[in-house]
Amino acid sequence: MVRLRAVLARYRPAAVVHFAAFAYVGESTLNPSLYYQNNVGGTAALLGAMRDTGVGKFVFSSSCAVYGTPEVVPIPEQAPYAPINPYGATKMICERMLQECAAAFPLSFMVLRYFNAAGADPEGEIGECHVPETHAIPLLLEAAAGDSKGFTIFGDDYPMADGTCVRDYVHVVDLADAHVAAVRALLNGAES
């Protein structure tokens, strides 16, 4: 936390946008302590450094995993927390930590809960590589290109005519735009 505090003190950012987290649901069930240490502990350290340096605007990359298995679809933003895995629980705890820190020191925040982020930089300048790959669209493209044995869609009990699942996706560029809009809103005095 010393280095983090020094960086914030030196550069005095107008806001912090927090994306750093482990984010594999399956891995979180196999090694929950790793997820709590990284996701919750890292966020706590960041918030402490912000408090110590007077940086008071925070945008948090959360997840739909805080909702667990929804009672209603589409899921309203005010749906209760009901995470069903350690990853979702860490995001829920971080959201609560934000509320409690905002009550304790000058902090305003925005939380963005993603569902299915997809896509890539249109110019192909930036991206990410997962080994092993776990995301649906890259796996589908690998199968279409003949680079894998196939593509499996899990589940056959959804309330659709054919029993298959319907998924909505949000493009990563739209997510980037949403984060910029959240920072601007905070800087213009929006409430948490």
What the block records as the tokens of 24 is 């594999």
Q: Tell me how far apart the alpha carbons of residues 158 and 164 are, in angstroms, rounded to a whole number.
A: 6
CATH architecture of 2-116+170-187: 3-Layer(aba) Sandwich (3.40)
87 is an active site residue: yes
What pLDDT score does 58 carry? 98
Domain boundaries, the chain: 2-116+170-187, 118-167
Which one is catalytic: 87, 114, 158, 169?
87
**Which pLDDT band holds residue 116 (cuts at 50, 70, 90)?**
confident
Which among 80, 84, 91, 82 is positioned nearest to 23, based on CA atoms? 91
Residue type, 181: A
Residues 6 or more apart whose Cβ sits within 8 Å of residue 134: 24
pTM: predicted TM-score of the whole model, two decimal places: 0.87
